[in-house]
Amino acid sequence: ALAVLAASLLAAGSEVLALAPRESALRRLDGRDGVLAVLTENKTDPAKLVECINAASGPLAVLVDDAELLVGHPSTEEILSKVLAIGRDKGCALVVASSAAHLGRAARNFLTAVPQLTHCGLLLTPEDRGQAVLFNARLPGNSVFAKPAGRGFLVQANQAVLVQVPEMPGQPADR
């Protein structure tokens, strides 16, 4: 889903900064026009992160895959929290991906702040209806499924709508 989002953002003229501390489809973005950087370390250098954010010349999306791996790194958490806080005013978006299980048991940090502050997210292949509480929403009945890949609920303003994220043409589907 993040790779599809990145492709859409890049096609619309946004710049992308990707954090992928584990193997991820985001890593295939490295070197593409509009991609400021693909940072792959678990302990992202805060100075490098700020440098990349400041290098943006227009709308910027910071995409973070496996975000739970960055929890516990105070400088990284602080910078990503600031991206979330200034996003609307500066044309910057923060998109984090993690399993619902990690979100549900995480202590208060940038990872849990995103769904709690925005009440917006994409819940893919929910394992139980209670996972929508992360976004202050409720899922309809029969909302637990495992297939097809990319099926889930887009949650906005506490409302959940069934969606299907398309696969990237020519690339195998990731999680």
Residue 16 confidence class, pLDDT cut points 50, 70, 90: very high
* CA separation for the pair 92, 58 (Å, rounded): 9
* Structure tokens given for 135: 């976004």
Q: Cα 44 vs. chain centroid, distance in angstroms?
A: 16
* CA separation for the pair 24, 158 (Å, rounded): 29
Maximum separation of any 2 CA atoms in the chain, in Å: 46
Amino acid 39: pLDDT = 92
Question: Contacts from 48-56 at CB under 8 Å and sequence distance 24+?
Answer: 49/17, 49/19, 49/76, 49/79, 49/80, 50/79, 52/17, 53/17, 53/79, 53/83, 53/92, 56/15, 56/17, 56/92
pTM exceeding the 0.85 threshold for the entire prediction? no
Q: Chain-wide mean pLDDT for the chain?
A: 81
* Tens-place pLDDT, residues 61-86: 999 898 888 777 777 777 777 777 77
- Rounded to 5 degrees, φ, ψ at 33 are -60, 135
Residue 142 confidence class, pLDDT cut points 50, 70, 90: confident
* Tens-place pLDDT, residues 28-42: 999 999 999 999 987
Residue carrying structure tokens 């297939």: 147
